[in-house]
Amino acid sequence: MVQQDNFLTYIKNSKYAYYYPLFVFILETALRVGEVCGLTWDDVDLEHGFVNITHQLQYNNVGKDACQYQILTPKSKSGVRNVPLSNAARDALMEQMKNQIEMDKKTEIEIDGYKDFVFSNRQNKPFITQTIGRILNRIVDDYNSDIKKFGGTIEPLPHIHPHLLRHTSCSRMAEAGVDPRTLQDIMGHASMKMTMELYNHVTNERLTNEIQKLNNRRIS
């Protein structure tokens, strides 16, 4: 959790601040990155506090030396779902809306009938997974370079790929006590087995940490 907080604080107070709402939103919702990229404002219900997930956006090869945006359906029927918004996720969307208005970053492109995408890059086009991966690489490199330059005891960040943010978000929800069945719905997992593998890992890690606290108390 400390690394996550450091990661977000660094983004918010650096030249990467433009991407702050994007990464907060991913870490608060556990959406697949393609689902985040494909999210439109029509999918967002701020009044009732949820986003409706029915599709994802990909940027795929369509021929020799040619790529194009494509709207795809979720991996399974369970991928079509309503995902509740935490206060932080709602705030991130509000900040993103404000930024798009103030910086005139509203997307004008239409892809397979979808338009007005929530998260747009500096060219007013929707993000793609590959771009988010490159941004993460730059952030981690600069973060680690800065903490090395100024010294201190802050741990460097590991390599972060976009899917890791979804995994981290799911772990945080499990740590907070979200029950497995609800977590399966939020994640859009087709099988409870997929959810339980992560849930059990988090539970076992929590138990180990609690026992270590007991051991430390007895030593002291």
Active-site residue (options: 19, 20, 32, 90):
32
Q: Active site includes 75?
A: yes
Q: Active site includes 32?
A: yes
Active-site residue (options: 138, 148, 163, 201):
163
Q: Active site includes 16?
A: no
Please answer whether residues 17 and 156 qualify as being in contact, where contact means their C-beta atoms are separated by less than 8 angstroms: no
Q: Active site includes 163?
A: yes
Active-site residue (options: 75, 134, 138, 201):
75
What is the spatial distance between Cα 84 and Cα 80, in angstroms, rounded to a whole number?
13
Q: Residues for the chain: how many in total?
A: 220
Q: What secondary structure, in 3-state letters, does 122-191 show?
A: CCCCECCHHHHHHHHHHHHHHHHHHHHHHCCCCCCCCCCCHHHHHHHHHHHHHHCCCCHHHHHHHHCCCC
Nearest CA among 33, 39, 72, 34 for reference residue 53: 39
Active-site residue (options: 10, 19, 69, 199):
199
Residues ≥6 apart with Cβ < 8 Å to 163 = 32, 33
Q: Active site includes 199?
A: yes
Residues catalogued as catalytic: 32, 75, 163, 166, 189, 199
